[in-house]
Structure 1
Amino acid sequence: MNNVVTQLEGLDETLAVLTRDAFGREVIPDLSDADVAALLAATGRVQRRLEALQIEAAVQVQERSAPMRDDRITLTYGCATAVDLIRMLTLVDSRQAHRLVRAAGFLKRTRSITEGVFLPARYPALREAVTDGYLGLSGLLAAITPLEQARARILDDQRLDADRRLGALARGIDTDAESDASIGRGPLPTPEDLGLLSQVLVAYLDPDGAEPTDDTATRKRGLTIGRLRDGTIPVRADLLPEVAGQLQLLLDSLLNPRVDGPEDLSSTGGVHFAPTDDDASVGTDADHGLSPVDSRTRAQKRHDAFAAILNTAARTGNFPTLGGAAPTLVVTVNADDYATGAGHAGVQNTGDLIPARVAAQTGCAGGIQRVLFDSQGRIVSIGTSARIFNALQRRAITLRDGGCIIPGCTIPATWCEIHHVREHADGGPTHTDNGVLLCWWHHRNLHLSEWRIRMNGGVPEVRGPLWWDREQRWRPAGRPRPQSPPRHRQPATA
């Protein structure tokens, strides 16, 4: 076996002994702050050197997987592509394997046909920084990606000059912008630092590059709403950066926890989010006073926030009218199905079917118009019910509740809907004593959850699931009110 592989396997055995000893004797928890920092720095150096070897090995995998070769290494190991082979041998995910293959393409060298020596790589200075252990995979790709995006508009000499500057920065060498001469040394850069310098160099070398990119983006922009499939409708969008930025701000305003509360939220019953699919899974213990766990995935939270944004926009009255009225979501349902909560309702402008209970939630947040048909389909009666909370009522309920009244929910009042605590169909009045603020998600799924709401003297109260409150007590909801201090009677004097 080659000496490089033999030595690397020896290093692996050494690291195995080291890690077993460190974890077996619980060495790391007793390290000082300086030793923990040194440990991270040392593992970073080792990781960068290992990534350099992986990139060079990926170069060979690519070359030995060429379609014209009969002895392709991928066939030998039973893999379809170079990425699959790298993924199986290194036990990394597909994304990391793709990154290794991509880096290999930038650093590979070809042999001269006449002399048999290696010709320089496309980015020779960055390759040297990688082989010397100064630069890892993330830093390499951060430095190269902006240059490759402008590849068609940058000359070879300009690319090599940018490579020299980036290679010097990767080693911590500061260079003069005019002469390219070294003017000192600084700390080793992060991948973000390298990416920023690369973007600056591209902006200098290709000042007109952004304009054609923007023209392409303008032509490419679009929003497509698909057809109903498995209960959902796919939406695909190519948004311009400023549009995506505005949408992200609105989503962040709904998804971020409140920041004006106490620092130790867990000890005060404040907001407590459970990690989504991107994070580890944790539970909640009611005995520790934690607020309810939000079990939605990150994508589901964004969907619900987007639904709240649409509903809020529809309430503003600032949109053009359709048919003489504001854009109004119309959901039709048979009276019997609405009364029983069974069956399906139809969304008028798409023709899709939704459960009757969803129609009830839509009607609770909006209004219901009764249209009576005779047996021949003729309209014989048109009526409406005054079930929509007016602006004054909404303002008063907002002042009382402050936001969604379900504990742990941070959706502010602006984005909330008003829920009839006692359903309007059951005789519940459209009155401030019967309306509470709920976010779109909790309003739509209240009947499916274990949360219960009641009004007590015009004040909303909630009772949570057993796992949240083992005592199953009704607890006041909404915005806390300051209490006046009790008056102390002055002692009588003789």
Structure 2
Amino acid sequence: MNSVVAQIESLDETLASAVREMFATETIPDLAGEDIAALLVATGKLQRRLEGLQVEAAVQVSERSQGIRDERLTTAYGCARPTEMVRMLTLSDSRSANKRMKAAGFVQRVRGITDGVFLPPRYPMLRDAMISGDLGLEGFLAATEPLEAAGTRITASARIEADRQLGAFARGIYSDLDSGSDAVQGPLPTPEELRALATVLVAYLDPDGAEPSDDVAQRERSFTIGRVRNGTARVAGNLLPEVAAQLKLLMDSSLNPQVDGPQDLGVHFVPSEDEALGDDGSCPDTTYVDTRTRTQKQHDAFASMVNVAARAGDVSDLGGAAPTLIVTANAEDYATGTGWGTVVNTGDLVPMSVAAQTACAGGIQRVLFDENGRIVSLGTSARIFNALQRRAIVIRDGGCVVPGCMIPATWCEVHHVQEHAAGGPTHTDNGVLLCWFHHRTLHLSHWQVRMRDGLPEIRGPEWWDRERRWWPARKSRPKARQPVWPVASDQ
């Protein structure tokens, strides 16, 4: 057996022995944090080195699988194509094998006819970074894909210069080309960072390439909303870059609204006997636990955006009025909180709790019918907080009043604390700000809201306050009237 293969197999045996011992003695669960990080760094470098060897082997598979069929390497191993051989021998899937073969095409070298010396590959510096173990397969493809997408619009000399800069960056070598300063060894970049640099280089090397790309993007832009299945409607499409960027900014402003300081959890509480005051005499902050996944939070942020747009008054009219979501429900079902409501423009069924929520949010209308189909109640502007009321409530509450929720006021809906159907007035003393998520789920959660002397008070679940007392929403109390911490009410 070739000494190279023997060395790799010897290393594998050593690694296998070490790994078996680690798992047998449960070493990894007892490692310190810095050792866990070091383990990930070391295994990442091993993986990159192995990927470099696999790509180089894939080059040979490609070269030796040409010519007469009976003489091909793939034929000897019973494979139809080089990709299939790589997939079978590495026990990888087709996608991973295709990536290895794609990279092999970019690092493949041709021997000179006269002297037999290897000529440089298409990306020599990136190949060197793979050989050194600094660059893995994903990073290599991330760096080359933008350049390959530009095609012949980039000259060979320009591609070589891009390869030089990307290769240096892939090895963590940083230098200021304009000032001519000495290179500095820094941290290795991620594939995303390599792709970003490659994209910037392409923009400089191919300034005219954006126009045809934009033409393609204009043709492929789309946005569709599917039918409701199992309670949700699937959304799909292709957004233009500037639209996607604006949407991400809006979502970020909702998911992480306080970017200039630590999160203010909103409420402090008086410590019980087994909870001491802090060194400065203050009480510990409440802890807010949000169990939503990030994708669920993004959905709720998007829902808030839709509701903000609906009440903004700047969108086109439909039938002479602002676009209004109409949810119909049977009056008896609505009174008992059972049954289903119907979204008029789609025909989709929604739980009665959603029909109840529509009574509070602007740009939404509720229609109630009796058992014979007669209209017995029609949501009007009297049930919706007007602009002046909303502005006053926004100033008072400052955002969603649920402790720990950092959704800003402009994204919130105004909630009737006492339901309008139960006689609750559409008045600032009966309205509080809730984000879309807490407005939608308030009846399902252990959070409760009430008004006292025109200010909202909060009662939380037991994990938040074991005694489940009522607390003034700190963001709602004028600063001049705020003590060190609000005093809870047991009434």
Q: Shorter-chain TM-score category? A: 0.7 to 0.9
Label 1:399 to 1:163 Cα distance change in 2 as closer, same or farther (>3 A): closer
Q: 1:353 aligns with which of 331, 349, 356?
A: 349
User: Residue 417 of structure 1: CA displacement?
Assistant: 0.8
Find the aligned partners of 2:304 and 2:140 in 1 and give their Cα distance: 41
Structure 1 match to 2:393: 397
Structure 2 match to 1:225: 225
The answer to whether residue 53 in structure 2 is matched with residue 53 in structure 1 is yes
Maintained 8 Å contact 2:58/2:101: yes
Structure 2 match to 1:272: none
Q: 1:187 aligns with which of 179, 185, 188?
A: 185
- Match of 1:55, SS state, is helix
Determine which structure has greater relative contact order: mean sequence separation of CA pairs < 8 Å that are 6+ residues apart, divided by chain length: 2
Letter in 1 for 2:228: L
Task: Count how many residue pairs are aligned between Structure 1 and Structure 2.
Answer: 454
Structure 2 match to 1:336: 332
Maintained 8 Å contact 1:460/1:478: no
Structure 2 match to 1:130: 130
Label 1:316 to 1:134 Cα distance change in 2 as closer, same or farther (>3 A): closer
Label 1:409 to 1:74 Cα distance change in 2 as closer, same or farther (>3 A): farther
Letter in 2 for 1:311: N
- Match of 1:345, SS state, is strand
Q: 2:453 aligns with which of 442, 453, 457?
A: 457
User: Residue 2 of structure 1: CA displacement?
Assistant: 4.2
Structure 1 match to 2:428: 432
Find the aligned partners of 1:383 and 1:263 in 2 and give their Cα distance: 38
Letter in 2 for 1:187: Q
Label 1:474 to 1:122 Cα distance change in 2 as closer, same or farther (>3 A): same
Label 1:60 to 1:381 Cα distance change in 2 as closer, same or farther (>3 A): same
Structure 1 match to 2:251: 251
Label 1:106 to 1:378 Cα distance change in 2 as closer, same or farther (>3 A): same
Label 1:124 to 1:250 Cα distance change in 2 as closer, same or farther (>3 A): same
The answer to whether residue 413 in structure 2 is matched with residue 409 in structure 1 is no
- Match of 1:468, SS state, is coil
Maintained 8 Å contact 2:49/2:136: yes
Q: Write the deviation string for residues 133-167 of structure 1: whole angstroms up to 9, x where unpaired.
A: 45333442343122111124334454345435544
The answer to whether residue 146 in structure 2 is matched with residue 150 in structure 1 is no
- Match of 1:437, SS state, is strand
Q: Write the deviation string for residues 385-437 of structure 1: whole angstroms up to 9, x where unpaired.
A: 72212223222222222111111111111111111112111222222222111
Maintained 8 Å contact 2:383/2:420: yes
User: Residue 258 of structure 1: CA displacement?
Assistant: 2.1
Give the TM-score taking structure 1 as reference length.
0.75
Structure 2 match to 1:211: 211
Label 1:102 to 1:406 Cα distance change in 2 as closer, same or farther (>3 A): farther
User: Residue 334 of structure 1: CA displacement?
Assistant: 1.5
Maintained 8 Å contact 1:173/1:183: no
Structure 1 match to 2:486: none
Maintained 8 Å contact 2:267/2:473: no
Q: Identity of aligned pairs, percent?
A: 58
User: Residue 305 of structure 1: CA displacement?
Assistant: 0.4
- Match of 1:364, SS state, is coil
Letter in 1 for 2:442: L
Q: Write the deviation string for residues 60-95 of structure 1: whole angstroms up to 9, x where unpaired.
A: 6778999995555779xxx98855864x46xxx998
The answer to whether residue 425 in structure 2 is matched with residue 420 in structure 1 is no
Q: 1:311 aligns with which of 307, 330, 333?
A: 307
Label 1:289 to 1:462 Cα distance change in 2 as closer, same or farther (>3 A): same
Maintained 8 Å contact 1:124/1:163: yes
User: Residue 214 of structure 1: CA displacement?
Assistant: 1.0
Find the aligned partners of 2:446 and 2:32 in 1 and give their Cα distance: 44
Structure 1 match to 2:280: none
Label 1:296 to 1:82 Cα distance change in 2 as closer, same or farther (>3 A): farther
Structure 2 match to 1:446: 442
Give the TM-score taking structure 2 as reference length.
0.75
Maintained 8 Å contact 1:343/1:355: yes
Find the aligned partners of 1:157 and 1:441 in 2 and give their Cα distance: 55
Structure 2 match to 1:482: 479
- Match of 1:330, SS state, is strand
Maintained 8 Å contact 1:103/1:137: yes
User: Residue 302 of structure 1: CA displacement?
Assistant: 0.7
Find the aligned partners of 2:209 and 2:414 in 1 and give their Cα distance: 50
CA RMSD, 1 decimal: 4.6
Give the stretch that moved more between structures: 151-160 or 443-452.
151-160
Give the stretch that moved more between structures: 412-421 or 471-480.
471-480
- Match of 1:469, SS state, is coil
Label 1:49 to 1:334 Cα distance change in 2 as closer, same or farther (>3 A): same
Structure 1 unpaired stretches of 5+: 270-286, 487-494
Structure 2 match to 1:107: 107
User: Residue 264 of structure 1: CA displacement?
Assistant: 9.3
Structure 1 match to 2:384: 388
Q: Write the deviation string for residues 96-115 of structure 1: whole angstroms up to 9, x where unpaired.
A: 77654543343245789999
Structure 2 match to 1:275: none
Find the aligned partners of 2:42 and 2:159 in 1 and give their Cα distance: 32
Label 1:383 to 1:357 Cα distance change in 2 as closer, same or farther (>3 A): closer
Find the aligned partners of 2:139 and 2:185 in 1 and give their Cα distance: 14
Label 1:159 to 1:440 Cα distance change in 2 as closer, same or farther (>3 A): same
Find the aligned partners of 2:182 and 2:482 in 1 and give their Cα distance: 66
Find the aligned partners of 2:222 and 2:431 in 1 and give their Cα distance: 39
